[in-house]
Amino acid sequence: MAQTSGLIGRDTVVKGNLSGSGDVVVRGRVEGTVSLRDQLTIEPEGKVYADVEIENLDVHGEMSGDIRAGDKVVIAATAKVVGDIKAPRVVIQDGARFKGSIEMEVKLPEDI
């Protein structure tokens, strides 16, 4: 896991495109698009209204938008997520609220 390279604080609103590498933690609000090579963590007080392309996503707060992850998406018990998810691994914890579809790429033995 890469070092945390960004923190979007509670009183911060980011509108537009957020891109780069390194881990980003959202405690504020992000609107637009997010494209990161590493980890995005949305804290319980965080809100993301964006389409997201990421390696790993961990949602504890609120998210609205489509998600495309290279590795894993975790939707915690405190999370509210609206949007479609495409990722090899998806974890939805008991108590989480989710509305959308999930597409998981599965490698069959003949694909290996």
Q: For 20-56, write each residue's pLDDT tens digit.
A: 888 999 999 999 999 999 999 999 999 999 999 999 9
Is there a domain that residue 23 lies in?
A: yes
Closest CA to 93 of 73, 72, 76: 76
Is there a domain that residue 11 lies in?
A: yes
Residue 25 near residue 12, CB atoms below 8 Å: no
Q: How many domains in the chain?
A: 1
Is there a domain that residue 14 lies in?
A: yes
Is there a domain that residue 112 lies in?
A: no
Is there a domain that residue 56 lies in?
A: yes
Closest CA to 79 of 89, 64, 101: 64
pLDDT confidence of residue 30: 96
Is there a domain that residue 105 lies in?
A: no
Among 15-24, 55-64, 71-80, 95-104, name the one with the lowest average pLDDT.
Answer: 15-24
Is there a domain that residue 104 lies in?
A: no
pLDDT confidence of residue 74: 98
pTM for this entry: 0.89
User: Residue 17's domain spans which residues?
Assistant: 4-99
Average pLDDT over residues 80-101: 97
pLDDT confidence of residue 85: 97
